[in-house]
Amino acid sequence: MTSQEASAIAGHLLSTLERESQITRKVIAALPDAQCAFRIHPKSRTALELAWHIVLVETWFLDSIFQGQFYSPAESALPDEIKRAADVIAWYDGQFPENFAKAQKLSGEYLARPISFLKKSEYPGVIYLQIVLSHTIHHRAQLAAYLRAMGAKVPAIYGGSFDEPA
């Protein structure tokens, strides 16, 4: 991959990441405090654990791209200070703007460079921007399904929802 190709792809992916971050915030914010311990299945994460996983892994992916290597992910257990959705959003709001600004400054040359993913696979750095988007969107959809199952309102995501018509 050339640096020009990586730069063009990154431009598109970063604008998408910026839009998606607002949707992610909205879905997490819809989690009622009284339902944070909701599990859709005994083997599933709680709703709050899932919300935390979404923002933690997104941050880890971006940081790994910046570091030029994927280190072992941080322990994903909920920190003691994360008790409700607003805490997850506050943490995310403290991380995302700085990470996004750093990502915008990455050169095409840097993003075209291969980065090893935990010594299992290797892709140009820009490809991990797509992977982080896919991961976030996948788990955010799970959280939206939790919202419906727990009887909470599901916000509009890519169009209207029953609870938030377009």
Q: pLDDT tens digits for 23-38?
A: 999 999 999 999 999 9
Q: Tell me how far apart the alpha carbons of residues 40 and 59 are, in angstroms, rounded to a whole number.
A: 25
> Residue ranges of the domains in the chain?
3-150
**Cα gap 53→24, rounded to integer Å:** 12
Mean pLDDT of the chain: 95
Model pLDDT for residues 128-160, shown as the tens digit of each residue: 999 999 999 999 999 999 999 999 999 999 999
Q: Which pLDDT tens digit goes with each residue over 100-109?
A: 999 999 999 9
- Residue 74's pLDDT is what? 64
Does residue 63 carry a pLDDT above 80?
A: yes
* Mean pLDDT computed over 68-95: 90
Q: pLDDT-based confidence at 118, cuts 50/70/90?
A: confident
The answer, yes or no, to whether residue 92 has pLDDT greater than 80, is: yes
pLDDT in tens, 35-44: 999 999 999 9
Q: Residue 76 has what pLDDT?
A: 76
User: Rounded to whole angstroms, how far apart are CA atoms 59 and 82?
Assistant: 16
CATH no., domain 3-150:
1.20.120.450
Tokens of 75: 């322990």
Residues contacting residue 69 through CB under 8 Å, at least 6 positions apart: 115, 116
